[in-house]
Structure 1
Amino acid sequence: MSDRPRGAGSHEQFTISYAGFNRPWATWIAHQLERLGHHTTLLRWDPPLSVPLDDALRNLLEAPGRVLLVLDDWYFSLGPRTDEEWTRALRTVVPPHVDRFAAVSVATRALPPTAVPLRPVDLRDLDSREARRRILGRLDVDPAAMPRNGDDDAFAPRFPNDPPSVWNVPRRNVRFTGREWALEELHQQFESGGRGGARVALRGISGVGKSQIGIEYAHRFGNDYDVVWWINAGFRATAREQFAELAPRLGLPVGEQLGERIRAVHEALRLGRPHRRWLLILDSADDMTQVEDLLPEGSGHVLITTLTQDWASTGSIAEIPIKSFTRPESIAYARRRAPRLTVPEADQLADAVQDLPLLLAQTAAWLAANQMSAGEYVALIRGGEANLIGISISSDYPMGFQTSWSITLNTLEENNPEAVELLNLFALFSPEAIPVRLLQAAHPSDLPPHLAALAADPIRWHTALRRLSESTAVRMDYVDTSEAEPYVDNVNMHRLYHSFLISTLTEERRESLTVTACEVLAGADPRRPADTREWSRYGELIPHLEPSGALSSTKPVVRALVLNCIEYLRVRGENRTGLRLCEQAIARWRTRLDPDDPSMLELTHQHANMLRRVGRFREAEAVGRSVVDRLSGTRPADDPDLLRAKNGLGGTLVTLGAYPEAHQLYDESARANMETLGDDAPRTLQVRSNLAIALALLGRYQESLELNRTILVVRERQLGARHYLTLHSGMAYAWMLRLLGQYQEAQSRQELNVRAHHQVMGRYTPQTLLAEHNLALCLRRAGDLDAANSLMSSIMERSAQRQGPQHPETLQVQADYATFIREHGDVEKARELAQSVAVSYRDLVGANHPYAVGTAGNVGLALWKFGERDEALQIAERTLMGMRRAVGDDHPWALGAALNASGARNLAGDEENALTLSRETLERAIRTLGETHPLTLSCKAALSDDLRSLRRGQEAGKLEQETLQQLLEGLGPQHPHTMAVRRRERPYWDFEPLLT
């Protein structure tokens, strides 16, 4: 070997041998050598047991060039191989070929003494620069020619001691065995997707090891990514919570709302900002309909573990079927788990459990801890009755698996009865994340005395958990802290084992454990579902409501927990999950509670609320109306439950466009609350605020303004100027000022209101977005077009992220932005957006709803702009008829529709009918809105235009001068409305969905 380091002029071939665990080291070392112009080959080390170890080492020499061994604990334990075998092989093979072999060590313990001839250099706890220096020095390679910019390549392998920027994956299974074909195929599937990303599903029966393959893949290939994130996808609410938790870890500027966080994560992953390389793992995603909306787009990779073929049937997701272990894998695993087993004994055990990894793990663990001979134990398994435990099992499972688990439980019962008692209690919780931390922290009175004593003794508690981890199909989820030892936060139990445990419980025992589980959950209820600081706790509790029996509990404190969880889901905007929980609770409570029981009424109220929020408006109306009708016949008019029911039904009717009946219900509720609670009581103010909305929707803007002013004054006095309810009242008051044409005061108030919203609530809350929306409309009316455009486009983007593109408040701002850019931007884009909004409203609330009718009219104005006169006229006439049917002839919306219809008639050359409609509309506008309202003045300008078209110039001129004078006095000479009339531009009216 030359004493001169090999540099850029001498390109060599290196073969890098590694155990599967250390692929990240192998790929990183290969990258360093390739940057210097050398050639590398990666060779995974896992020789069959049938090949003697010295022959396996000699086989490495058949590879070209020098052989670099990446040594660690795993490298020496594969097989497994004994220390004697390694000593003999290294002494035999290495010395004659010492110039061909080199080694690096990343082991956590001392290497065998016989590894000395390999002269391994230690890479543990080094940074990348020092590790590179040591590797190149060991290989006698000159580092001088190393390019300086290679580490900046975003797709280069990450240095293994530098973890991904964002990491959330269960701990690695140190006994993971085999499955190399699955890992390699999975890696190839992802690599074949290139920078366009890829999605792959691992499909197989329960217990076959899909999750373990996913964990191993994340650890083995994790250094290829900047973000690796694990999600328990077996329960929709949990999956959404865990997906949303990625938002703050990515540094995204989001609030506390779950929907907002989820949309922000989707956008960040799609764009690859701040990270392009990401791996998302959806574990136990067996019901595709529950979590398919979490699948992100982008350049990253998605790994799904599932029982079903549903994911692959979509055509966009590749599938890798996962079968049981191969027999060599089973033998290797069993001997690693129970070293006392011989190869024939491990083979017998594997045959008895049909190579199913979950069962093999449990049976081998039992043999490792007990002295019964393997033959005797296998005979017991084979002799077990198929129906020993009364659960239905697929033919894919070995018939004796229940027997093997029963033996394990019996042994555990003899040696550690406390652990078995804890295990049985675990069965009453959702298996994906059993909250052991809550159990340990439970009030002693909520636990049986022996479990309370166990929880109070940290040593006994952790001993019991360790025994369960060693002997049963549970996995501990540890929380690592920098200030203390890692602690167990949750326990993950395999679902097949969970079902088995449930089946072993007698009815009496299960009822007793149900009581305990419910008391633990109720004791953990913060009782503050609207407090964002408690949201993580409610997210933790909800998955356990059904398996614990909480939904069927008759205890008031447990029913209160269920209602608080539903309220949390409502406040957080998780409406689909909230509706499902409502329906589950109703199915159980209906047989146990009177319909008028306070808890049942609260649940029914939430049910109607959730139905309305997911767009099932008619069903929400039916639920709400049934309660109002029933209580109206049995309760006094001022009964609080009846008033709440009326208020809830009013909200549904507002959504349906039934404004008169909604107004009636709100008015009745407001009057009753004023008589019983007083004018200024918080509940009264809330109902009166709803009444003000109904008045606005009826077109009674002045009455709405006055009522909002009254509420604002009271709330400023009671709550202070910066309370969120006060800010909402201030926004509603400014909104009405604008609709009444008092633009200057509206803008002044709304600017202050928005500033306060930013300071108190932040930029992303729905209420802040509504406040900014009103300000943007004020800016548009004032002619500050640049500011209006910038603010409105920002609101639209944030609302879509925060609430979704089809949320009513997002559609509201989209509708207004479409009308804005039609006049001050891209006309084609305006038409496309207007059409999209109109279709969305039609699908959401029906074609006859005022919002659907009005936004369809906005499409007609876009066509008008394009000069498509005939279609614009047809739409305008349909809009006029539809709006009159929906809200009446004298409603401001009907007057606006009439203004547009007269303009369309004029444009189409039907001047006489345009004049007739313009004159009628002006008369109605004066009666409804007054002489000087902006819409009335637009009607005057339109009538003047129609008179001019019919060559009645003197009459037209007189009316035009009168209109201009009123505009000058009301809005000023430079206001856009005044200038448009002076330029004789035909006035139009944009439909604007109202604040609700």
Structure 2
Amino acid sequence: MTDPRAATTLAAGRGTAGQEEALRIWEGVPLRNPAFTGREMLLLTLRQALDRKSKASVLPHALHGMGGVGKTQLAVEFAYRFAERYDVVWWIPAEHQTVVLQSLRELGRRLGTPETANLQQAASLVLDELTRSTQRWLLIYDNASNLDDLVKLIPSGGGHVILTSRNQTWSDVWDPIEVDVFDRPESIELVRKRSVDVTLEDAERLAERLGDLPLALDQAASCQAETGIPVPEYLAQLDEHMRALTAHDQQSESLSTIAALVRLSLERLRADAPPTAELLELFAFLGAEPISGGLLRRGRDADVSAALKSALRDETRLDRAIRKLNRYGLSKPDANSKIQVHRLFQFVLRDQLGEEAAERSRTNVHRVLASANPGYAKNAETWQTHAEIGPHIEPAGLVDSELLDARRVVLDQVRYLQLIGDLDGSRKLAESAYQSWSKVEGAPLLGPEGELTLLAGSQLAVSLRLSGFNERARTLADEVFARLRSSAAFGPDHEHTLNAATEVGPNLRVAGLFREALELDKDTVARTRRLFGDEDPDTLMALGNLAVNERMLNNFAGAHKIDAEAVQTWQQTVSENDIRLLFAQTNLARDLYGMGRYGEALALQRNVFPPFREQLGSHHPNVLLAARTLAITLRKVGRYSDALAVAEEHYRGTINRYGEDHEHSLAAAMTLANTLRVNDDLVRAKDFADNATSRYLRVFGADHPLTLAAMVNFAIVLRALDENDRARKLDERSQAQMIDRLGQTHGYTLCATSGLANDLAAAGESAEARRLSEAVLATSRGTRGPEHHYTLACAVNAALDLITVGEDTAGHAMLDQATAALAEVLGEEHPEVVGAREQHRIECDIEPPPT
């Protein structure tokens, strides 16, 4: 059991602690309510419903509207009372989708499911694991609101699910268990548990007056016990507040009762304990998720109202105020000692606070959250605080706050959500901020050209690109960059402009506009150097982007020069296992691979990979990319079985992290296909290559260079299976489009042309095959160099074409020379060298570097 408080309580509920085995996983279940009363038939009904259908929705009886009937308390009691039935009990606050996703990912970590950068993907892995699992598990989704968002985040089977909600539409999904008000004996029992001095007659009067509504009874009894007001006097004061409410408001009787109770308690707190009253008022504009005293304390320097400030600046006073809220029955501590105010209390607070108090409370919330905000989310040490702030951003209205620092909380939350992999949440929040701030007139930092607006737009572009909305991401990134560059307040050399430029480049590369990205990044490097200097991390990052462009344009020598300088710079300033140096070295290994220096690339990558993986973990994006380079270089040096093991593991890790349609996942699939092919597993190679090519077509489009590269690789597999006609069609299409998109001399074009020559040779069109082989050989010598592996492969193929057309002497002489040179590069025992000696043609596959 992971929660010692839960362990103690469970032991009490399940028998002697020494006689019971602790649950393997128990997380998040609220503390057991020692005053829990009655509900025996409901507990039995809930148990029978789960045994029969495995899912149950706990809803308020339709007559009682918003609830307050004890849905959550019923679920809590069920978890404790029947804990021995389960190996896993996991409580999920379900009102906020990001919180649900984070909770499921944490469950995945406890279950040992693979790590993934995308929260939606992580949730899917957990749901699949639970569905397949033989463990006995119970998930409780508390206060589920949006059916459309949540229904896909619930396991399809395998265990038990309890869902509590005020939303009656859940009754259309699962048969509901309706929770009604107490029976009168239950009401009396609860009141007398809360206050032992209350007579049976007074308890019945209180129950009658409050309509047996559990939430109202619990709060009223707690308040009466805390204040010591006799029940008759308490009821008289309650009636006075009820009359004041009904004179102005038309609402349900149960809601009016709750409102009157809150007003009565708030009135007394304002008189007796102003800090506690102002603490309570905060919850009118906070979300439903619990909030910790620690987060409130982080806001102690905020310019808030005097009474609240006195509590925030004194830990003892704050603890005293929190305890008083608990004793008044207005809040309850959760399992992690956070403060939670019932949603109904929050609703009536928002509804009943006067204009002055509401404005004070709203301002206090904005200032506290702004002061507690840890700022830029790049440091993972701040993530716990960002996670706690997140559910309160929308209820507090921070997007439209008058306080600019509160709006900055929104920007930091967008970045945090990107970093933890909640791309959907990040995109929605950034969209809301960008749209709202763009419409503001006459406010500093806002409006279409305002700093915060443009920063929101830049972050929205990032979220859109990472979510696969490539066209809109590119359009927005271009728009924000253009505004910053032309702005009198910023201009082309401002940090914001240079940061925006780093987002334009990836969008250009994703669109296949490699040359345009190169020119932009050259300009960014020049400006960054002038602003920060040669050795600044931002300059080195800009240079890294420039090297990416050079690799995409097949200028691996140019990329190598840039990356070698970066490696040298980092070596002079950081330790040998610093992740920045290791990252630069993995880039250098990619350059060496592209230059055909496979042995050097493999040696460097094997040296770098273990410490890189040890520090960042196997599923970190940069480690996964390094694993792909390792698999490729192992294959190229002829270690095919070793390469396959690495490629298989890399593919699984990448799919688990990104899903199937991400650029890195598609590249991983194609790397695996290429590796399966050289290991003679042609059926699987075809499946992977075919699937990856289809996905490239859908995600990137038919004429994108990455799609065309996939076609070239797929054609190679098809030729190996003697599906020559289909291979030729692919090569003819890809070669023509590569010439148009990339030019005659680009490495991808040369590979496509080489493949087409192999198609022609297979079809017996020897003269045309010879023409293409000789042409691609001449171009490769001029661009790749005469000693490059692929140049020598072209020479072997050209020699075989000479022999085929009858020029045996020249052909054999050329073949012997090319084979000897190839042996110098790859080694005498390399499979391609052996194949060349046996007069087999060589294939030139493509392994595109990441964009």
The structure-2 alpha-carbon separation of the partners of 1:747 and 1:829, relative to structure 1 and needing over 3 Å to count, comes to: same
For 1:602 and 1:384, the matched residues in 2 are separated by 48
Contact conserved, 2:284 with 2:349, CA < 8 A, in 1? yes
Contact conserved, 1:818 with 1:830, CA < 8 A, in 2? yes
Higher Cα Rg: structure 1 or 2? Answer: 1
Q: Please show how residues 745-824 of structure 1 align to structure 2 within 5 Å.
A: 745-824=600-679
Residues 464-499 of structure 1 show CA distances to partners (whole Å, capped at 9, x for unaligned) of: 4344234445321244xxxxxxxxx32222223212
Residues 168-208 of structure 1 show CA distances to partners (whole Å, capped at 9, x for unaligned) of: 31011233334444433332343346xxxx44333445324
The structure-2 alpha-carbon separation of the partners of 1:578 and 1:264, relative to structure 1 and needing over 3 Å to count, comes to: same
Contact conserved, 2:285 with 2:362, CA < 8 A, in 1? yes
Partner residue in 2 for 1:995: 850
Partner residue in 1 for 2:58: 202
RMSD (Å) for aligned C-alpha atoms: 3.6
Partner residue in 2 for 1:127: 18
Q: Displacement of 1:816 after TM fit?
A: 0.4
Residue 216, structure 1, aligned to residue 64, structure 2: no
Q: Displacement of 1:955 after TM fit?
A: 4.6
Partner residue in 2 for 1:140: none
Residue 302, structure 1, aligned to residue 161, structure 2: yes
The structure-2 alpha-carbon separation of the partners of 1:262 and 1:715, relative to structure 1 and needing over 3 Å to count, comes to: farther
Q: Please show how residues 505-654 of structure 1 align to structure 2 within 5 Å.
A: 505-527=353-375, 529-590=377-438, 591=440, 592=443, 593-634=446-487, 637-654=492-509
For 1:499 and 1:754, the matched residues in 2 are separated by 54
For 1:107 and 1:660, the matched residues in 2 are separated by 70
Q: Displacement of 1:256 after TM fit?
A: 9.6
For 1:371 and 1:713, the matched residues in 2 are separated by 80
- Which of residues 682, 698, 706 in structure 1 aligns to 2:553? 698
Q: Please show how residues 273-288 of structure 1 align to structure 2 within 5 Å.
A: 276-288=135-147
Question: Counterpart amino acid of 2:141?
Answer: L
Q: Displacement of 1:952 after TM fit?
A: 4.6
Q: Displacement of 1:695 after TM fit?
A: 1.0
Contact conserved, 2:25 with 2:90, CA < 8 A, in 1? no
SS at 2:278 equivalent? helix
Flag structure 1 segments of 5+ consecutive residues without an equivalent: 1-23, 26-72, 75-105, 109-122, 129-158, 480-488
Q: Displacement of 1:774 after TM fit?
A: 0.9
Partner residue in 1 for 2:738: 883
For 2:469 and 2:566, the matched residues in 1 are separated by 31
Q: Displacement of 1:364 after TM fit?
A: 5.2
Residues 10-34 of structure 1 show CA distances to partners (whole Å, capped at 9, x for unaligned) of: xxxxxxxxxxxxxx99xxxxxxxxx
Q: Displacement of 1:747 after TM fit?
A: 1.0
The structure-2 alpha-carbon separation of the partners of 1:398 and 1:723, relative to structure 1 and needing over 3 Å to count, comes to: closer
SS at 1:201 equivalent? strand
Contact conserved, 1:384 with 1:402, CA < 8 A, in 2? no
Q: Displacement of 1:926 after TM fit?
A: 2.6
- Which of residues 263, 280, 293 in structure 2 aligns to 1:436? 293
For 2:242 and 2:302, the matched residues in 1 are separated by 44
Question: Counterpart amino acid of 1:686?
Answer: M
Q: Please show how residues 173-572 of structure 1 align to structure 2 within 5 Å.
A: 173-192=33-52, 198-204=54-60, 206-207=66-67, 208-247=69-108, 249-250=110-111, 265=126, 269=130, 272=133, 276-292=135-151, 294-296=153-155, 299-308=158-167, 318-325=174-181, 327=183, 331=187, 336=192, 356-363=213-220, 365=222, 370-373=229-232, 388=248, 401-440=258-297, 442-443=299-300, 446-455=303-312, 461-479=318-336, 489-527=337-375, 529-572=377-420
The structure-2 alpha-carbon separation of the partners of 1:461 and 1:965, relative to structure 1 and needing over 3 Å to count, comes to: closer
For 1:321 and 1:759, the matched residues in 2 are separated by 50
Partner residue in 2 for 1:170: 30
For 1:810 and 1:936, the matched residues in 2 are separated by 29
Q: Displacement of 1:781 after TM fit?
A: 1.1
SS at 2:653 equivalent? helix
Q: Displacement of 1:849 after TM fit?
A: 1.9
Residues 830-866 of structure 1 show CA distances to partners (whole Å, capped at 9, x for unaligned) of: 2222233223333332333222232244333333333
Q: Please show how residues 976-987 of structure 1 align to structure 2 within 5 Å.
A: 976-987=831-842
TM-score relative to the length of structure 1: 0.76
Q: Displacement of 1:810 after TM fit?
A: 2.8
Residue 735, structure 1, aligned to residue 590, structure 2: yes
Contact conserved, 2:37 with 2:190, CA < 8 A, in 1? no
The structure-2 alpha-carbon separation of the partners of 1:642 and 1:411, relative to structure 1 and needing over 3 Å to count, comes to: closer
Residues 201-250 of structure 1 show CA distances to partners (whole Å, capped at 9, x for unaligned) of: 33445324322222122111112112211121211232333333335545
Question: Counterpart amino acid of 1:214?
Answer: A
The structure-2 alpha-carbon separation of the partners of 1:539 and 1:458, relative to structure 1 and needing over 3 Å to count, comes to: closer
Residues 662-682 of structure 1 show CA distances to partners (whole Å, capped at 9, x for unaligned) of: 111101111223344433333
Higher relative contact order (CA closer than 8 Å, sequence separation 6+): 2
For 2:537 and 2:235, the matched residues in 1 are separated by 75
For 2:719 and 2:703, the matched residues in 1 are separated by 22
Contact conserved, 2:785 with 2:791, CA < 8 A, in 1? yes
Partner residue in 2 for 1:97: none
Residues 529-554 of structure 1 show CA distances to partners (whole Å, capped at 9, x for unaligned) of: 22222221221122222333433345
Q: Displacement of 1:876 after TM fit?
A: 2.6
TM-score relative to the length of structure 2: 0.88
The structure-2 alpha-carbon separation of the partners of 1:912 and 1:577, relative to structure 1 and needing over 3 Å to count, comes to: same
As a proportion of its length, which structure holds more helix? 2
The structure-2 alpha-carbon separation of the partners of 1:421 and 1:681, relative to structure 1 and needing over 3 Å to count, comes to: closer
For 2:174 and 2:668, the matched residues in 1 are separated by 39
Residues 237-294 of structure 1 show CA distances to partners (whole Å, capped at 9, x for unaligned) of: 323333333355457786999679757755654554xx82222222122124444554
- Which of residues 674, 682, 688 in structure 2 aligns to 1:827? 682
Contact conserved, 2:182 with 2:214, CA < 8 A, in 1? no
For 1:375 and 1:668, the matched residues in 2 are separated by 75
For 2:814 and 2:49, the matched residues in 1 are separated by 75
Flag structure 2 segments of 5+ consecutive residues without an equivalent: 1-5
Question: Counterpart amino acid of 1:184?
Answer: L
Contact conserved, 2:105 with 2:126, CA < 8 A, in 1? yes
SS at 1:322 equivalent? strand
The structure-2 alpha-carbon separation of the partners of 1:710 and 1:476, relative to structure 1 and needing over 3 Å to count, comes to: same
For 2:807 and 2:339, the matched residues in 1 are separated by 86
For 2:246 and 2:687, the matched residues in 1 are separated by 64
For 1:985 and 1:192, the matched residues in 2 are separated by 65
* Segment of structure 1 superposing worse, 418-427 or 565-574: 565-574
For 2:681 and 2:189, the matched residues in 1 are separated by 66
